[in-house]
Each structure stands twice: as structure tokens, then as C-alpha cells.
Copies of this chain bind each other. A is one copy, B any other.
Amino acid sequence: MRKFHIVLVMLACIQNASAKNPLPSWNDGQAKQSIITFVDRVTAEDSESFVPVDERIAVFDNDGTLWCEFPLPNQAAFALDEIKRMLPENPEWKDEPAVAGLISGDVASLKADHNAGLIKLLALTHAGITPDTFDSRVENWLQTAKHPRFDCSYRKVIYQPMLELLEYLRTNQFETWIVSGGGQDFMRVFAEETYGIPPQQIIGSYGKLKYELIDGKPMLTKTLDSLFVDDKEGKPVAIAQFIGRRPIACFGNSDGDQAMMEYTTIDNPRPSFGLIVHHTDADREYAYDSNPSSSGKLTTALEAAPQRGWTVVDMKQDWKTVFPDQADEGLSSLIGQWLVEDIAVSDSGNQGVVDRAQTTVQFSADGTASGNTCVNRYSGNFNVDGNKLTFGQLATTRMAGPAALMDQEQRFLKAIETVATYEFGEPGIVHFLDKEANRVMKLSKK
């Protein structure tokens, strides 16, 4: 007789209540309602149109759909800034017409002849280096460069309503993917932290990598060989290649997204959903469609929308806020995963936290705080109002752990109850304070 042992017992209670307002930055209206209706349809187990979790694939364009693409696509801005940064060490680049055009401020000429100038600049800035080198250059640029109009990091010119939409879909067990004409490696640097989308769910344009062992060490080098442009008909091709499943939801903003919208919504045996972000808001962002000065031309996809049943978002009408900074500034800075670095409250005389015992707080846009006490999982809600921060009753699992960790758990749960306000410290640090303004907890952004 065979004997078996339990490896893992997982008891999961999922309170399957719908959020009363899952998309707070969306104005009530047809666009918002169409999203919620679709998600309800495919997730209700008693519905004819129920779609199993494995098949809940949602694909998003990036430029103009998740973040701003004006006055230039942000990756082009990166390439231009990189050229300027590296020019002193590469004076011969000045003989290159594309570089000369850039230096003389003639950015428009870079787009002539099917972006030949831009592609040349890409070759100078996106090839001949390792992916690690490229990643750190992008990271440095993101930390220093500012958007010319909004005067903030490019990481912040992302659309708050779309962040909420990504989160809403994931809460409903969709797998969210980016399928963008932008560079795959470029997006992977920031997309996990910014959008909650891991590298393996990001499809973009790419050149073939070269692999070698150099001095006995593995080395990859970026090239522009066999360049795959993930745009127009390339998008459904890439979806089939990378995902191998047909999406049931597709979000874009330009004619470059039309093929993947069609692939998602026409003749799909599953219920499907398509949505186009129409940039109609010159005051808060930009207004463009048929004749944009940057990327994002939108004509045929907009014409096709009524016939195809695609939702068209009128940015001006449908979005309460555009960028996270227009939403609650403090709240948007809190959203994400934090690691508890110090707890001041103590019954036991213990201070600090145990090395590598991960006590965490995850703030979600839907008002949920959850994480690990370091022994147990917990979850509850929280309120932010200006600099005020309070937590509701937390539900926790009831596992036992080593004494030092149980002590830390108790101190954490006790400290959380006393939190009344918060303040940001040095970059990446937040402090929680009690009502006498004593710092009771210090956390670092994960």
C-alpha cells in the first residue's frame, strides 16, 4: 500500500463580494459601465458567458493607453536624451544626419522616411550593450528625466484610471499583459513596479539577442537584428507567439492596436471586450486622433468601433482624473508593497525587527491593506484622508511560529491599531505615527 503525506494544506476563504466602486477615477457612464458589465458576465459562475480563469487574458497597449505618448513617445525621449548624454564621448556621431538633426533641434525630420532617423538613434542607444547595461541606463533616465510639459518623472505620466482597471481585472483573476510597439526591454525596467505586470507578461518590439561565453561568463548583447516590430498585424502575431491563447479583452488607443482588437473580438468563441482610449482632453493631457504630432494615429479603429461593439473612452468625459498626481497624492504614493523596518511599540522590551522576518504591508487602490505579520497573513481595510491614515479591523490567519516572530507579530498588530497619521521620510521610506505624533513604525518601499 502506498503512503502519502500532505505537502501543503491551503485554506483560502475568498469573500466574493463585488467592490461597490472598483474604478474610482472613472466617471459614471457608458464606458465605465461596459467594463463592469463585461467583467461581471465572464466571472459569474452561474452565467452562460462564464470564462474559466485560465482563459481570462487581457492585453494592453502601452503608449497612449497606459501612459502618455506626447509630445514624443517616452522611449524616443529616452533615446534623444541618451544621444545627448553620450555625444561627448562619441564625437563622430555628429556626422550622422539623424544626430545632426537632433542637435539642431529638428526633431520632426527624425520621423521622415518611416522614422529612419529615429531608428538610427535607436541603434546607437539600444544595441551593442548588455541587457543589464541597458536596464541601468533606463533606470537612471527614469530617475532623472522630466516630462517637458508635466515637469515630473516619466513614471508619473501614467493614467490613474488605467491603473485601477489593471487592478480591477487582476482582482477578477485576469492575467494582464502588455502588447506594445515600444521596446520590450525598455518597458520591463519599470512595468512591474508601475503597472504590476511582471517581465514575462510584457511583449514589445525586440531585436535578436546574441549569446556568448566571454572569459567563461555568459554574456548577452542587444542587437537590432531580426527586428520584430510589435505593431499593427505584428500584435496578434506576437500574442499567438508569446501567449498562445486568444485574449478576451483588449485595450488600445490607436490604429496600431486595431489588428489585436479584431483578433480579440471578432469570431472569438468566448465573450470578448475591446476598448479604445480616445485622447480628447487638451487641458489635462492631449487631444489627438487623425493627425497626431507624435504617435497614436486613430482613424480606422475609431470608425470600426461602433460596428465592432468596442467601447470608446472619451478621456475628457469619462476620466475623473488622468494622472495619479491628480488623484490623492498621498494615497497614490502609499499604494504598493512596503517592508516594515522598525516597530517602536513594545510590551516585551524588544525593539526593531528580526532580520529577514518579512513583515509587510500592501496598500491596494481598492482600499485593502494586506500582507504578512511575519508569521500570518492578514487583510483589512484602510482610510487615507490628507495625512491621516487609519486601519480597520484586520483579519489574520492563526498559525504559530517561533517566539521571536510571534513577539514581532504582536508588536506589529498593536502598532497598527495606534496609527493615526503618516509622513514620508527619505526616498522610499514612510513613517506611521500615533495620535501623539510618535513614530510607531518605519517602512521601506519593496
A243 proximity list for chain B (CB < 8 A): 199-200
- Residues of chain A at interface, number, CB under 8 A: 89
Q: How far is the CB of A128 from chain B (nearest CB, A)?
A: 16
Complex partner residue of A8 from B5, B171, B218, CB under 8 angstroms? B171
Q: How far is the CB of A12 from chain B (nearest CB, A)?
A: 5
CB pair B15 A8 closer than 8 Å: yes
- Give A210's nearest chain B residue, CB to CB: B237
Is A403's beta carbon under 8 Å from chain B?
no
- A residues 187-238 near B (Cβ < 8 Å) are 188, 198-202, 206, 208-213, 216-218, 220, 226, 233-234, 236-237
Complexed CA–CA distance, A368 and B380 (Å): 31
| Interface-facing stretch out of A107-115, A261-269, A341-349, A429-437 | A261-269
Complexed CA–CA distance, A396 and B14 (Å): 13
CB pair B14 A10 closer than 8 Å: yes
CB pair B216 A266 closer than 8 Å: yes
Complexed CA–CA distance, A15 and B398 (Å): 11
- Give A50's nearest chain B residue, CB to CB: B356
| Interface-facing stretch out of A29-37, A61-69, A85-93, A381-389 | A381-389
Known interface pairs A2-B328, A242-B242. Does A266 touch B366 (Cβ–Cβ under 8 Å)? no
Known interface pairs A266-B216, A383-B2. Does A13 touch B11 (Cβ–Cβ under 8 Å)? yes
Complex partner residue of A266 from B12, B218, B370, CB under 8 angstroms? B218
Known interface pairs A8-B171, A377-B12, A380-B6. Does A237 touch B211 (Cβ–Cβ under 8 Å)? yes
Is A280's beta carbon under 8 Å from chain B?
no
CB pair B366 A7 closer than 8 Å: yes
- Give A354's nearest chain B residue, CB to CB: B46
CB pair A366 B184 closer than 8 Å: no
Is A379's beta carbon under 8 Å from chain B?
yes
| Interface-facing stretch out of A17-25, A95-103, A146-154, A284-292 | A17-25
CB pair B45 A358 closer than 8 Å: yes
Q: How far is the CB of A150 from chain B (nearest CB, A)?
A: 24
Is A1's beta carbon under 8 Å from chain B?
yes
CB pair A5 B244 closer than 8 Å: no
Q: How far is the CB of A88 from chain B (nearest CB, A)?
A: 31
Complex partner residue of A13 from B9, B24, B201, B262, CB under 8 angstroms? B9
A184 proximity list for chain B (CB < 8 A): 241, 244
A198 proximity list for chain B (CB < 8 A): 54
Q: How far is the CB of A397 from chain B (nearest CB, A)?
A: 5
Complex partner residue of A12 from B17, B46, B367, B397, CB under 8 angstroms? B397
24 A-B residue pairs with Cβ-Cβ distance under 8 Å, sorted by A, are: A4-B383, A5-B381, A6-B15, A6-B17, A7-B171, A7-B366, A8-B171, A9-B13, A10-B13, A10-B14, A10-B377, A11-B13, A13-B377, A13-B398, A13-B399, A45-B356, A45-B357, A46-B355, A175-B200, A199-B245, A200-B242, A200-B243, A218-B236, A218-B267
